[in-house]
Each structure stands twice: as C-alpha cells, then as structure tokens.
Amino acid sequence: MEWMGNLNEYEKLVIRMNTPRVVIDNAVCANATLVKIDSARKHEILLEAIQVLTDLNLTIKKANISSDGRWFMDVFHVTDQNGNKLTDESVLSYIKQSLATNNAPKSNGFKGQTALELTGPDRQGLLSEVFAVLSDFQCNVVEAKVWTHRSRMASLIYVKDEDSGSAIEDAHKINQIEGRLKNVLKGNNSIRTAKTTASMVVTHTERRLHQMMFADHECERTSYSVEEATTPSVSVQNWLEKGYSVVYVHSRDQPKLLFDIVCVLTDMGYIIFHATIDSNFGKSYQEFHIRHVGGSPISSEAERQQVIQCLQTAIDTRASEGIRLELCTADRRGLLSDVTRTFRENGLSITRAEISTSGKMAENVFYVTDVAGEPVDPKVIKALQQKIGLSSLKVKEPLMFWQGSTTREESTGSINLFSLGSIVKRNLYNLGLIRSCS
C-alpha cells in the first residue's frame, strides 16, 4: 500500500490494528479449511464474518470464538456443501478480501429494486394470491425468500416495474400494491395481524427476515410456549463469577445454523465474547458466552425465556418441512403466479421458498407438504411434473419425507441452482470489484 508512505508511524499502527488479519489454511486440518481472523473488536464483526461464509453456502463444521479485552479472534473450520475443503482460488481470495476489509455485503445486491416486506397468518394458497397481485400490477419478481413458522409467514420480495425495468417509484401504485397485499394477507383474520411495507432500503435478506419473524412473534407471543418447542434444545445459565450468561444450543445440524443464532443474539442486543461450535454426524453443539451491549448478563427469568424462545423460533424456521422442489425454467410474466396456483390446486402447501432469476432464467426452490403438513404423495409430485414440465421441475427428497416404491434415481434429479462460482461472482459485483455479474 504505497499510500501508507505518507502516514506517520502512529497512523500506520492504528490502520494495522483496525484491519483484520485473515489467514486461510488448508494444511492443518485433514477434512476442512481453516479460516482464522484476528481483529480489533467492534460491534457485529462476528456476524459479518459468519455472513461472508454462509452467503457462499459454506458449511461451518467447528468454530472457536474468543474476545479478550479489545481484541477478537475467530477460527472457523469450513467445507463446501459436499464436505470438501475449499480449493477454488477465486473463492479463497473473495473470503480473504471480504473479511480483511470488514466489507461483508449489507445486502444481496438489490439496488434499483423495490423491497416488499410481508408478514401475516399463513394458509394454503397464500403465495399464489400474493404473486397473482404482483402480476396484476406488472411487477417483475427478481428475488424473494419466504419463511413460515407456527402458522405465520414472513417474506421479503424484490420487484421491478416490468415496463421501466427499475424500482417502482410511483407512490400511488405502491400504495395500491400494499393495500391489495394486505387484504390478501389478512384473509379471514383481523387486519392488524397482516403487515406490508414497500421500501428502497438495501438490506441483507435473511437477517431482515429474522427481524420480521421476531417482531411478528412478539405480537403473537401469548400463543407460543417454550414447552411446545421440543427441538432444538436451548438453555441459558448465568456465570456470575465472570459476569456472563451462557447459552447452550443442542440441535440437529442444518445449513446456516450458526448465522441464525448469532444473528438473533446480535439483534437482541447481546455481544458474544466466547463461543465454541462443534457439528458432527448431523448434530450440532454450540455454547455462547454473552453480555448485553451495556456489559451486564441476563437479569431476569422473563428475559431468559425470551432468549430461549427467539433462538428456538429462528432455528425451527430454517428447518424446512416437506419435499424440496427445484424449478429451473425460462422466466416470464406470471410464472410464479401460475406455478404456485398449480401447487394449490394439487393440495400442496408451501412451507419455504427461495425465488431468484439469472438472466432470462427463473431458478426457484419450494419446500412443500400436503395441507395437513404431511408428506406429499409421490403420485401428486409426478402429476405436478407432468403439468409444469419434467425437465423444469426436479425433486430433491428429504429422506424422512419420501417413502414409496419410487427409486431414488427416479425421485431425485436435483439441479445445482446456486453454484459456488456464481455466488462468488455476484458478491464480487456487489462489492464493486467487477463490472458485471452476467
């Protein structure tokens, strides 16, 4: 850095102290890549580091997190989705540059689009009605994520105006869209339980969804009890000698588990000083030593119960139920409305959805059950594939939910919608490091 030659030694020292030191090592561990971060401690630095890794769909198998005084040190054991070490130089370079510059993308790159936030009671066919409204208003859905939990739904949908190809700026049209969507969301329930918001604010989708779910369950807290949530196991104890509250989480391992936990604790106003994470054989054991931003541990039983409830909600929400259907086809107006209507007409409920577009192609993932929340009859899935297209709609089965005479080769057929290389390329574009991600 030639520009540092103009700085005095003290200024250089300050820059070095506040610039994270990142080391990526493939030699130490036999079955994982080690990512080590040393940095001056600042609020949310841990969440930002985990976000960089999980946005690349990497798996964090183990982690040791320590914050001593004003210094912060993390060691992550990571693999790709297939359990292999990271060897792609573009991926390694992106991780190192993102972590070393404290430059975790604050959004998923949705500038020039309108963000629609929806929360309300979940029901069969809800998404079909939502996408039908957006189609009526000539809104092109660029990307979206939909989460459901305990009969509630939260969704963040990014849209463009079909004619202009940019964000919707007409305030009257936005008000009309919000009004129609609110009527759809409330259904036969009180309108106070349905919320719609349109904004141009750039945000990180999954973090925002956690915030929306938290706010929504706060409104409905009386219908939620800790005893109802048997998995995961979450407990909180105070370590008074050290002034920490210790959060223990024991659950089934699942994608982005560490991100979900750290995201919720951060947004609830806690700082994680020490943590250990160990995931193996499909199980995850996590321990977090936390304090309030103000420096105190958890001080009441009500607060302890709230932490337990919020963490259980966040983990349960990610644990999708149902068969995973992957739709890859040419994008067109009304596609999502037509596909989700077909799901509804065949008696399917969507428990989670991830909608995205790449050029002129739609790349969508849906988790579906029958209306009772039970596994879907394989015959129904076959009928869906016949209607939508065998080459377009593929099935990836959760083992617990696909039973029958169909062979694994016939029922599986998943497609790799989100390759690691394309994710890196998009994130490089979001960081301004390349000119185009097409």
pLDDT band at residue 40 using 50, 70 and 90 as cut-offs: confident
pLDDT tens column, 198-234: 988 778 999 999 999 988 876 444 444 444 444 689 9
pLDDT computed for residue 289 by the predictor = 97
Give dist(CA 326, CA 346) in Å, integer: 17
| Lowest-confidence segment of 180-194, 268-282, 359-373 by average pLDDT | 180-194
pLDDT computed for residue 150 by the predictor = 85
Give whole-number Cα distances, 165 to 43, 188, 202, 272, in Å. 37, 35, 18, 42
Domains of the chain and CATH, by start: 2-104 (3.30.70.260), 225-318 (3.30.70.260), 320-438 (3.30.70.260)
Give dist(CA 37, CA 252) in Å, integer: 27
The dihedral built from the CA positions of residue 326, 328, 329 and 330, taken in this order, carries a sign that is positive
pTM above 0.85, yes or no: no
pLDDT computed for residue 23 by the predictor = 95
pLDDT at 121 over 70: yes
> DSSP label at 286?
E
The pairing of beta strand 152-161 with beta strand 361-370: unpaired
pLDDT at 402 over 50: no
The pairing of beta strand 233-239 with beta strand 33-40: unpaired
432-438 contacts at long range (C-beta below 8 A, 24 or more positions apart): 433/97, 437/109, 438/359
Cα atoms in the Cβ-side hemisphere of radius 13 Å centred on 281 = 0
pLDDT band at residue 103 using 50, 70 and 90 as cut-offs: low
Q: Is 376 helix (H, G, I), strand (E, B) or coil?
A: coil
pLDDT computed for residue 69 by the predictor = 72
- 300 within 8 A of 389, measured Cβ to Cβ: no
Average pLDDT over residues 12-32: 79
